[in-house]
Structure 1
Amino acid sequence: MSANQGTTTASPETGRRMSSEERREQIIAAALAVFGARGYEGTTTDDVARTAGVSQPYVVRLFGTKENLFLAAVQSALDELMRVFRAALEDDSTDRPVSKRIGEAYVALLSVRGLHQTLSHAWLLGGHPVIGPAARRGFALVWAFFRDEAGLEPDEARAFLAEGMLINVMIGMRLVDDYGSDPRITELFRACFPTELPHILDIAPRGDEPW
Structure 2
Amino acid sequence: MGGVSAQERRESVIRAAIAEFAIAGYRGTTTAAIADRVGVKQPYLFRLFPDKKAIFLAALTRSAEDTRLAFERAADGVGGGERAGQVMADAYAQLISTCPETLLMQMQGYVTVAAAEAQGDDVIGEVVRAGWMSIWETVHLSLGADAERTAGFFACGMLGNMLTAIGLPVNAGR
> What TM-score, normalized by structure 1, do the two folds share?
0.70
Choose the corresponding residue for 2:23, options 22, 37, 42. Answer: 37
2:49 corresponds to: 63
Displacement of 1:34 after TM fit? 0.9
Looking at structure 2, the residues matched to 189 and 103 of structure 1 have their Cα atoms a distance apart, in angstroms, of 11
The one-letter amino acid of 1:27's match is V
Looking at structure 1, the residues matched to 112 and 146 of structure 2 have their Cα atoms a distance apart, in angstroms, of 28
1:99 corresponds to: 85
The one-letter amino acid of 1:118's match is M
Which structure's CA Rg is the greater one? 1
Looking at structure 2, the residues matched to 28 and 119 of structure 1 have their Cα atoms a distance apart, in angstroms, of 13
Identify the structure with bigger relative contact order (alpha carbons < 8 Å, sequence gap 6+). 2
Displacement of 1:143 after TM fit? 1.9
Choose the corresponding residue for 1:109, options 91, 95, 98. Answer: 95
Unaligned 5+ residue runs, structure 2? Answer: none
Looking at structure 1, the residues matched to 101 and 168 of structure 2 have their Cα atoms a distance apart, in angstroms, of 15
Say if 1:37 and 1:172, in contact at 8 Å, map to a contact too.
Answer: no
Displacement of 1:72 after TM fit? 0.5
Would you say 1:189 and 2:171 are equivalent positions? yes
Looking at structure 2, the residues matched to 22 and 55 of structure 1 have their Cα atoms a distance apart, in angstroms, of 17
RMSD over aligned CA atoms reads: 2.3
Unaligned 5+ residue runs, structure 1? Answer: 1-6, 9-16, 177-187, 193-211
2:154 corresponds to: 161
Say if 1:33 and 1:113, in contact at 8 Å, map to a contact too.
Answer: no
Q: Which aligned pairs between 1:171-210 and structure 2 lie closer than 5 A?
A: 171-175=164-168, 189-192=171-174
Deviates more, 1:57-66 or 1:95-104: 95-104
Displacement of 1:147 after TM fit? 2.2
Choose the corresponding residue for 1:81, options 67, 75, 80. Answer: 67
Choose the corresponding residue for 2:163, options 162, 170, 188. Answer: 170
Would you say 1:25 and 2:11 are equivalent positions? yes
Q: Which aligned pairs between 1:47-62 and structure 2 lie closer than 5 A?
A: 47-62=33-48
Displacement of 1:66 after TM fit? 1.1
> What TM-score, normalized by structure 2, do the two folds share?
0.83
Choose the corresponding residue for 1:131, options 102, 124, 127. Answer: 124
> Deviations for 1:104-146, whole angstroms, at most 9, x for unmatched residues?
1111212235110111111223332210121112222222222
* Structure 1 segments of 4+ aligned residues over 4 angstroms from their partners: none
Q: 1:144 to 1:96 in 2, by over 3 A?
A: closer
Say if 1:117 and 1:172, in contact at 8 Å, map to a contact too.
Answer: yes
> Deviations for 1:55-105, whole angstroms, at most 9, x for unmatched residues?
111112211111110110111112222222111111449x97100011111
More helix by share: 2
Choose the corresponding residue for 2:105, options 105, 118, 123. Answer: 118
Say if 1:49 and 1:55, in contact at 8 Å, map to a contact too.
Answer: yes
Looking at structure 2, the residues matched to 46 and 113 of structure 1 have their Cα atoms a distance apart, in angstroms, of 22
1:147 corresponds to: 140
Displacement of 1:158 after TM fit? 1.7
Identity %: 30
